[in-house]
Amino acid sequence: MSISIEINKRRTFGIISHPDAGKTTLTEKLLLFGGAIQIAGAVKSNKIKKHATSDFMEIERQRGISVATSVMAFDYNNLKINILDTPGHQDFAEDTYRTLTAVDSVIVVIDVAKGVESQTEKLVAVSRRRKTPIIVFINKLDREGKDAFDLLDEVEQKLGLKVRPLSWPVGMGQSFQGVYNMYEQKLSLFRAHSKQFEDETTIIEDLADPRLDELINERAAKTLREEVEMVESIYDPFDPETYRSGEISPVFFGSAVNNFGVKELLDCFTQIAPTPLPRETEERFVAPDEAKFTGFIFKIHANMDPNHRDRIAFLRICSGKFERNVNYLHVRNNKKMRFSNPTAFMADKKSVIDEAYPGDIVGLYDSGNFKIGDAITEGEVLHFKGIPRFSPEQFRYVLNTDPMKTKQLHKGLEQLMDEGVAQLFTKDINGRKIIGTVGALQFEVIQYRLKHEYGASFEYEPVQLHKAYWVHSTDKKAIDELYERRRRDMARDKDGKLVFLAESAWAMQVAQENHPKIQFYNTSEL
């Protein structure tokens, strides 16, 4: 089968939102309609033990939040759908930002009552900078919320998106009766307290059809006709090409927890969403239909299977055909590697595959060879662009509370740091270890995972630091002078690179003034 046929079958997208907007619930229901699972899990529930498929880590199940990106693949209407469910919490934004480099489009979930929230603004801004096609799903229509037109205005103003509704709600909250699908001219009727898995749509080719009054009552029908007419007059006719170019964002309404409006979203998405897109490298653009395989690592997850202590590197296929047991070039290390058990994903469930195509996400078992951003090719030296690096903003000392488990602590720290969500620094003067993160909640996750996955116990101690700066200079004497004068502020990262730990912005300014031959970088990628 030709590569072009396989490319045209792929749809790879991420789901993003502010916490609690219903992102993971929507992911579950997409899997349910796609036939990938039989029962959709509850993200938060004390009464049942079925959890969301994408929240596979124990801490996610306990806290009811996503703390790591999950990858899920399923077939739908002869297409291969790859979903990347991302963390919504701002403390895990690094994982989400990197994941956005591996998708071809995104679905933004918005709570009808809360509207556009801060984290949504940040994530959409990243997507817009890349001109990633965006679909908006306004969720929780079974609850009272903001007026639909007001929400559309808010989305345009706060997110900078030019929207085009493709469905329209009939009422809201207690008066919610359904959604009219303008894209397919179908009316889906909402049945309260029932899961809408069966096809309960009615084809209404003309809203003047008197059946509409019978289905939803005269008053609701009159309002729907007026509002749809207003939508059609305000917004331009929908053109899929303007969506794929990132100029227009289609909007759908529904209630993910009730499975309502999800199938309409999925059906439209599979028709209009882009196939795998070209990727930019420092050397050139890589087109998906090129004959030779290329791909890059955008995520590393340590200890996915606690029984085997495995590490998985997530590889986005960018071009060509990836095959099992074929030698490929690991560009950064300049060495050939062969993968005997590459895997496809359903959250934490993995299955070995023989081949993969552009748009697919493949898991590679990793013994410490990979870093985020690494390129793998058939031989060409490429460096993929746009994969963000972050400087830590919060710091804590690590205090080992169980000397008998020192080995487990060191191994756990090393593996978790490879995921790229935190940095580990070892002070030269006394050997003390410091963890640096972007968000405070990361400290809790790291402590929990080290205890439950590695059996290592430790406590945090506060440390007053402003920023970590990697240092570089072509003048070795300048480096030596900095080291001697500021020895107590010097540390090594996990790769042995020299780092200056600035206690304050003023201390950083003084260091720059006193050491003009030194370049200070706030990431390790010099």
* 188: in domain: no
Q: Are residues 307 and 334 in the same domain?
A: yes
Residue 396 has pLDDT above 70, yes or no: yes
Give Cα 217 distance to the centre of its chain: 42
Residue 60 has pLDDT above 70, yes or no: no
Q: In the chain, pLDDT over 90 holds for what percent of residues?
A: 47
Q: Say whether 389 sits in a helix, a strand or coil.
A: coil
Residue 195 has pLDDT above 70, yes or no: no
CA nearest 501: which of 396, 371, 415?
396
> Containing H/E element for 97?
helix 93-99
| Span 359-367, average pLDDT | 89
> pLDDT band for position 65 (50/70/90)?
very low
Residue 57 has pLDDT above 50, yes or no: no
> pLDDT band for position 64 (50/70/90)?
very low
Q: Are residues 289 and 365 in the same domain?
A: yes
Q: Are residues 400 and 314 in the same domain?
A: no
What are residue 364's DSSP bridge partners?
A: 313
* 186: in domain: no
Q: Say whether 52 sits in a helix, a strand or coil.
A: coil
Cα–Cα distance measured from residue 437 to residue 392, given in angstroms and rounded to the nearest whole number:
5
| One-letter-per-residue 3-state SS of 225-248 | HHHHHHHHHHCCCCCHHHHHCCCC
Cα–Cα distance measured from residue 169 to residue 189, given in angstroms and rounded to the nearest whole number:
10
CATH number at residue 122: 3.40.50.300
Q: Are residues 100 and 77 in the same domain?
A: yes
In this predicted model, which residue has the larger pLDDT, 33 or 469? 469
* 382: in domain: no
CA dihedral 333, 335, 340, 344 (to 10 degrees): 40
The Cα-based distances of 16 to 30, 93, 117, 174, 347 in angstroms read: 14, 10, 12, 27, 16
* 356: in domain: yes
Residue 219 has pLDDT above 80, yes or no: yes
| One-letter-per-residue 3-state SS of 448-502 | HHHHHHHCCCEEEEECCCCEEEEEECCCHHHHHHHHHHCHHHEEECCCCCEEEEE
Residue 42 has pLDDT above 50, yes or no: no
Cα–Cα distance measured from residue 166 to residue 143, given in angstroms and rounded to the nearest whole number:
21
pLDDT confidence of residue 40: 37
* 388: in domain: no
* 245: in domain: yes
| Span 313-334, average pLDDT | 95
> pLDDT band for position 160 (50/70/90)?
very high
Q: Are residues 268 and 310 in the same domain?
A: no
Domain count, the chain: 3
Give 129-141 pLDDT, tens digit per residue: 888 999 999 999 9
Q: Are residues 82 and 151 in the same domain?
A: yes
Choose the final residue of a domain: 352, 377, 402. Answer: 377
Beta strands in 156-233 (DSSP E): 163-165, 167-170, 178-181, 186-189, 201-203
* 516: in domain: yes
Residue 344 has pLDDT above 80, yes or no: yes
> Containing H/E element for 118?
helix 118-129
pLDDT confidence of residue 305: 56
Question: For the ranges 136-140, 275-279, 493-497, which has the lowest average pLDDT?
Answer: 493-497
Question: For the ranges 38-42, 263-267, 383-387, which has the lowest average pLDDT?
Answer: 38-42
Q: Are residues 340 and 246 in the same domain?
A: no
Sign, CA dihedral 362-351-86-5, equals positive
pLDDT confidence of residue 510: 93
Q: Are residues 353 and 252 in the same domain?
A: no
Choose the final residue of a domain: 243, 272, 301. Answer: 272
Domain region containing 446:
394-521
Task: Compute how many other C-beta atoms are within 10 angstroms of the C-beta atom of residue 470.
Answer: 18
In this predicted model, which residue has the larger pLDDT, 360 or 34? 360
| Span 66-79, average pLDDT | 74
pLDDT confidence of residue 264: 87
* 439: in domain: yes
In this predicted model, which residue has the larger pLDDT, 149 or 98? 149
| One-letter-per-residue 3-state SS of 362-381 | EEEECCCCCCCCCEEECCCC
Q: In the chain, pLDDT over 70 holds for what percent of residues?
A: 85
Give 281-296 pLDDT, tens digit per residue: 999 999 999 999 999 9
Give 111-122 pLDDT, tens digit per residue: 999 999 888 888
Residue type, 248: I
Contact (Cβ atoms closer than 8 angstroms) between residue 189 and residue 198: no
| Span 149-173, average pLDDT | 94
Q: Are residues 338 and 415 in the same domain?
A: no
Residue 188 has pLDDT above 90, yes or no: no
Q: Are residues 114 and 165 in the same domain?
A: yes
Choose the final residue of a domain: 246, 272, 298. Answer: 272
> Tokens at residue 213, please?
């009054």
Global pTM value = 0.77
Q: Are residues 42 and 102 in the same domain?
A: yes
| One-letter-per-residue 3-state SS of 246-273 | CCCEEEEECEHHHCECHHHHHHHHHHHC
Q: Are residues 485 and 356 in the same domain?
A: no
pLDDT confidence of residue 391: 72
